[in-house]
Each structure stands twice: as structure tokens, then as C-alpha cells.
Amino acid sequence: MTRLTMVTVVLLMVTAGMAQQVPRGGQTVFSPEIHDDNTVTFRIRAPKAIKVEVTGDFLAPVRVEMAQGEYWVPGRGEMKENKEGVWEFTTPEPLASELYSYSFIVDRMQVNDPSNVMMIRDVGSVKSVFIIPGDPGDLYSVNDVPHGTVARRWYDSPTLKEQRRITVYTPPGYENSKQIYPVFYLLHGSGGDEEAWISLGRTAQIMDNLIAQGKAKPMIVVMPNGHTQNQAAPGESSRHYLPAMGGGQRQAVASMEDSFGDIIAFVESNYRVKKNQANRAIAGLSMGGMHSSAISAQYTKTFDYVGIFSAPPISIWGAGSKEEADKRIEEFVNKLKAQQANGFKLYWIACGNTDFLYQGVIESMKKMDEIGFKYTYRESGEGHIWKNWRIYLSEFVPMLFQ
């Protein structure tokens, strides 16, 4: 797509968005409308369209076959046009409390809801979102409670030989007190960056609400960028690149594990945190879960709390042969033995029973059982999705620093 074409598309989208809000000779389009019974109506003004659908994770997924294999994709709901040229779709059943994402398909072109300013980026796609109230939706919402602060900071990484961007949540009252806090390092998956947990994961809202309810200790939450070939999220660094699963334009100088000491050093030099094992926690999802298991094993006597979400604690990802895989398993099992001997308070593993990494999690736990490694396992339904990771975060945080 040429630059001129891209500008034209952007202008058309902005114009369409304005038209949704202030249509000529008609009423303002209200979408999405969450009804008292938790059914939802979606609307979009498209008077010249032939076919309009809504798609999102609130609809039952459907299986499609592609050259690469079978995939599950969000279902579609067919919208109906009224006499004002507004297309509508109402969910046939009430929706369970949750955060949902969706978009419209207008004559085979996918677009976001011009009437909804709530949007979230996941890897390279941006979707409209809404929250159904209740449990857990209220936990993911901004409520009338004291709020913490979210800051994007740059830290120096001597190991990676560059400045890097990090997201830090400080609890309510941090700026006006002299209190010293425990610190929780929270790591994203292969499709994420330092923005993932704060946007898709709703970390600030979850922390504010849990602290206000007295269910979690006030703590600092540190969310770094786990791709060591990238400085920061797309559009936030001098090295421009298209967002992708693990994408980046620079060869990594060192691994996340080897460079993690730089993050700890920055946090403990710039924030009022307790600098001992009992007051440090680390957790992550998918790739970040693998990072969490490796980092907690490598940095001995550093973390008392470890959370592995939707990831095998013993990873053989990237192993080129069975011999190499067996060697890596043996090496990591020895690290786990040392970690067990050093002691910790909680090693928490969580995974959905339809997750594509589920079997790897089960096999890892068998190896851990063989050496008597102590852990707690939490199995949920569904798969490798943010719905599960937000739930895991909201369950893991209350167990920290007790």
C-alpha cells in the first residue's frame, strides 16, 4: 500500500467515525449497547453496504481449514439494515461477565466500531472492546477506588548495550508516602511487549480493585519488554518495525534471562522496593512463563513467588533433536533441584485444558514430581487466551507477600 493510499484510508476512517457520531439528518449511532439483561446490540451506519457482519470473541468460534492446518476463529453474526442505513445485531443470549473484543466486516472489509473509542492492540491487530459488568468484568473496570500510577520508563541495559522501555505500576499513595513496597515482575508472551499486560491484561485496574478490596498487598508491578532484539513496543523506539510474534529488526545481543539483572538493578535504584527474596515475585504468560521459570532458576535466592501461566516450566522450545532436548531437560531439572534447595514460598502453574501447550505443561510437572519439586497447579477451561491470563493474574496476586 502506498503512502498516499494509506493516508486516504486513514482520512476515510476518521470521516466515517465522525459520521457515526454526528450523522446528517439522522440520530447518533449508539454502539455497543449493553442492555440490562447483558445482551448486547452492535450498530454501524453503512447505507451503501451490501452485507455487514460482526465478529468477536463473544461469539462461538468456528473451525476453518487452511493450508497450514486447522484453526479456530471467532464466529460471525449477520447484521440487519434498518431504514436509516444503520446495521444492527443483538446477541441472542446474555453474555457472561468478561472483557470482549470485536470488529465489523463491511462487504468483506474488516473495520473497528466507529462509535466505540475503546480499542486494544494485540500483536498487530487493533480491536474494539467492551466489558460486561459482574464477576470478573468489574475487576477489569475503572471503579471509584484509589488509583495507582502507570509510568513508561527507559532504563539502561549494559548487557544489551542500549536503553530499553519498561512499564511500571505503582500503587495508590506511592508518590506521597515513604513506604517501601514489594515488587512483582510480570512478563508478556511472544506476541506482546511492555504494553501487553497493562492494556490487554488490565493490570492497573485489577491491581487497583484488589488492593481496594483488601485482597492484595500494595505492590509495585514491573512489566518489561521480553524481546531482547527490541527496545520497545512498535512505534515507541527509534527502530521501527511491524508488530509480529517475536518480531524485531536487530539480532539480540543477549537473552532475557542474562539481561534480567539490569531490570532488577534499575527498579531497585529508582523505586522504593524491598530488596530481598521474600518481597520479590515473578510471573508471565506463554513465552513470559518460560522466561519466569528460567529466570527464577538462574537468579538463585531472588524470588519467593513464581507464576507460570500457559507455559511448560521445562521448555525444550527450539531444540533441534531429541538428544538436544533430553540434554536441556536434564540441565534444567538440575537447576530446579538447586532452586528447591534454596527455598521459595510459592511456585504456581496455571493452564487451560485446551491450550496447545497443555501437554508440555503436564510433561513438565511429571518431571518435577520425579524430583519432589513442590508446586501448585491450577487448571482451567479454554486455551491460550487473554481471558485465562487475566483470571490467572487476579488469582495469583492475592497470594503474594502474605
CATH of residue 9's domain is: 2.60.40.10
Does some domain include residue 224? Answer: yes
Q: Which of 181, 144, 151 is nearest to 169 (CA)?
A: 151
Asked if residue 70 belongs to a domain, the reply is: yes
Residue-level pLDDT at 45:
97
Task: Write the DSSP string, 267-294.
Answer: HHHHS-B--SGGGEEEEEETHHHHHHHH
Same domain, 26 and 155: no
Clarify whether residues 291 and 354 are in a common domain.
Answer: yes
Residue 284 within any structural domain of the chain: yes
Instruction: Give the rounded percent of residues in the chain with a pLDDT score beyond 90.
Output: 76
pLDDT at 213 over 50: yes
Peptide bond into 234 cis (omega under 30): no
The residue from 99, 133, 167 where one domain ends is 133
pLDDT digits (tens, 9 = 90+) for 59-110: 988 877 766 566 678 899 999 999 999 999 999 999 999 999 999 999 999 9
Say if residue 28 is in the same domain as residue 171. Answer: no
User: pLDDT confidence of 9, banded at 50, 70, 90?
Assistant: very low
Do 401 and 345 form a contact (C-beta atoms < 8 A)?
no
Largest CA distance in the chain: 74
Inter-CA distances, 192 with 42, 196, 248, 292, Å: 28, 5, 12, 15
Query: Which of 6-10, 97-101, 394-398 is least confident?
Result: 6-10
Determine what percent of the chain is predicted with pLDDT higher than 70. 89
Q: Which domain holds residue 379?
A: 149-399
Q: What is the pLDDT of residue 10?
A: 37
Q: Does 141 reside within a domain?
A: no
- pLDDT, position 70: 67
Both 207 and 82 in one domain: the answer is no
pTM as predicted? 0.89
Question: What mean pLDDT do residues 308-318 have?
Answer: 87
Task: Give yes or no: residues 175 and 80 share one domain.
Answer: no
**How do residues 114-164 score in pLDDT, each as one tens digit?**
999 999 998 878 999 999 999 999 999 999 999 999 999 999 999 999 999
What lies within 8 Å, CB to CB, of 324 at 6+ separation is none
Whether 31 is in a domain gets the answer yes
User: Does residue 127 sit in helix, strand or coil?
Assistant: strand
What's the pLDDT score for residue 11?
38
How do beta strands 76-78 and 52-56 pair? antiparallel
Under the banding of pLDDT at 50, 70 and 90, the label for residue 384 is very high
- End residue of a domain, out of 74, 106, 133: 133
Q: What is the pLDDT of residue 249?
A: 61
Distance between CA atoms of 294 and 258, rounded to whole angstroms? 10
Q: Identify whether residues 259 and 339 lie together within a single domain.
A: yes
CB contact at 8 A, 191 and 230 = no
Average confidence score pLDDT of the chain: 90
In a shared domain, residues 279 and 363 = yes
Is residue 296 in a domain?
A: yes
Indicate the angle between helix axes 322-342 and 358-370, nearest 10 degrees. Answer: 60
User: Which residues lie below 8 Å from residue 39, measured CB to CB, with a gap of 6+?
Assistant: 90, 91, 92, 93, 94, 95
Whether residues 246 and 337 share a domain: the answer is: yes
The total number of structural domains in the chain stands at: 2
Q: Are residues 251 and 159 in the same domain?
A: yes
96 and 229 in a single domain? The answer is: no
* Residue 14 pLDDT exceeds 50: no
* pLDDT digit string, tens, across residues 281-303: 999 999 999 999 999 999 999 99
Residues 221 and 299 in one domain: yes
**pLDDT band for position 3 (cuts 50, 70, 90):** very low
